[in-house]
């Protein structure tokens, strides 16, 4: 995997608290001074938020279709 | 359908969503409709609150935050009764009907700098069908990478993993511009 993707993976694991204690701390410290990382982390959180909204919308559509099929 | 809680409900919901949702729907919706209609609502009202309840149920199940001590139907009826009570409350106070109870119930209030939900969702749409499907299946619907790899014809989980991160990186870039724009005065 190219380094950019590894970084996405690392920040994901950090947000989920899946890193070792030492690694969590490393990332947390880097986030204190690295503005580029701060922005990437903020964007990544927003990406997950967008996916939750899109998923919810899809589920709503599936439920609407089920309603029509079963009771419409 | 067995009335006792099934240990594999979460698994069935994730690996066979269509059929599992259909089974729950067919069994529970008539009860919800009956309840709501008995209490001054319409079939449309019943459908709206039932869908909100199903969304809450799905999200909690996938996030493994749900330990069922009763049947799925009983659990869903409980949520629906609550939602209908809130809805009636709102109507007596003559507040306008909101589009989504799930959002008002479960999401923290967002600050003025937050992008509108529709705008955020547009970025997911712009990823194209494959990326959208991979990301939503994994992050929202809780599907395992094995299933996603099989659905998209990837040779193995590793390929699917790389693809997933590529798609996520694209989405992150797209919404990243949005974050920076939002910091501007």
Q: Do A50 and B21 touch (CB under 8 A)?
A: no
Q: Which two tokens stand for residue B36?
A: 């709501």
B169 touching chain A per CB within 8 A: yes
CA neighbours closer than 13 Å in the CB half-sphere of residue A23: 12
Q: What is the average pLDDT value for chain B, to the nearest integer?
A: 85
pLDDT for B137-160, tens place per residue? 999 999 999 999 999 999 999 999
Output the CA–CA distances (angstroms, integers) from residue B68 to B29, B74, B75, B80, in the order listed: 19, 10, 8, 16
Alpha-carbon distance of B124 to B170, in angstroms, equals 10
Domains in chain A: boundaries: 3-71
Q: What is the average pLDDT value for chain A, to the nearest integer?
A: 96
CATH T-level topology, domain B117-183: Arc Repressor Mutant, subunit A (1.10.10)
B57 touching chain A per CB within 8 A: no
What is this structure's pTM? 0.85
Q: Do B172 and A51 touch (CB under 8 A)?
A: no
Number of neighbours of residue A12 by Cβ within 10 angstroms = 17
ipTM score for this prediction: 0.95
Task: Name the percent of chain A in helix, strand, coil, to the closest 5.
Answer: 90, 0, 10
Share of chain A above pLDDT 70, in %: 100
Alpha-carbon distance of B185 to B179, in angstroms, equals 12
Domains in chain B: boundaries: 9-106, 117-183
């Amino acid at each position: 995997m190219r380094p950019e993707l590894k970084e996405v993976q690392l920040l994901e694991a950090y947000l989920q608290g899946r890193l070792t204690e030492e690694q969590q701390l490393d990332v947390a410290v880097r986030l204190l001074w690295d503005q580029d990382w701060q922005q990437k982390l903020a964007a990544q959180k927003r990406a997950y938020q967008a996916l939750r909204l899109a998923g919810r919308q899809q589920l709503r559509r599936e439920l609407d279709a089920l309603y029509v099929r079963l009771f419409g | 359908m067995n009335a006792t809680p099934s240990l594999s409900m979460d698994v069935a919901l994730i690996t066979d969503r269509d059929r599992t949702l259909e089974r729950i729907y067919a069994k529970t919706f008539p009860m919800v409709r009956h309840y709501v209609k008995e209490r001054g609502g319409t079939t449309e009202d019943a459908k709206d609150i039932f869908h909100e309840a199903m969304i809450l149920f799905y999200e909690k199940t996938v996030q493994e935050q749900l330990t069922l001590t009763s049947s799925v139907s009983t659990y869903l009826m409980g949520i629906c009764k609550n939602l209908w009570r809130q809805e009636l409350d709102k109507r007596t106070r003559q507040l306008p009907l909101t589009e989504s109870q799930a959002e008002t119930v479960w999401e923290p209030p967002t600050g003025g700098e937050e992008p509108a939900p529709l705008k955020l969702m547009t970025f997911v749409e712009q990823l194209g069908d494959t990326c959208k499907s991979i990301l939503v299946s994994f992050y929202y619907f809780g599907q395992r990478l094995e299933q996603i790899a099989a659905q998209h014809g990837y040779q193995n989980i590793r390929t699917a993993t790389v693809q997933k991160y590529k798609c996520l990186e694209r989405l992150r870039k797209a919404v990243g511009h949005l974050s920076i724009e939002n910091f501007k005065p």
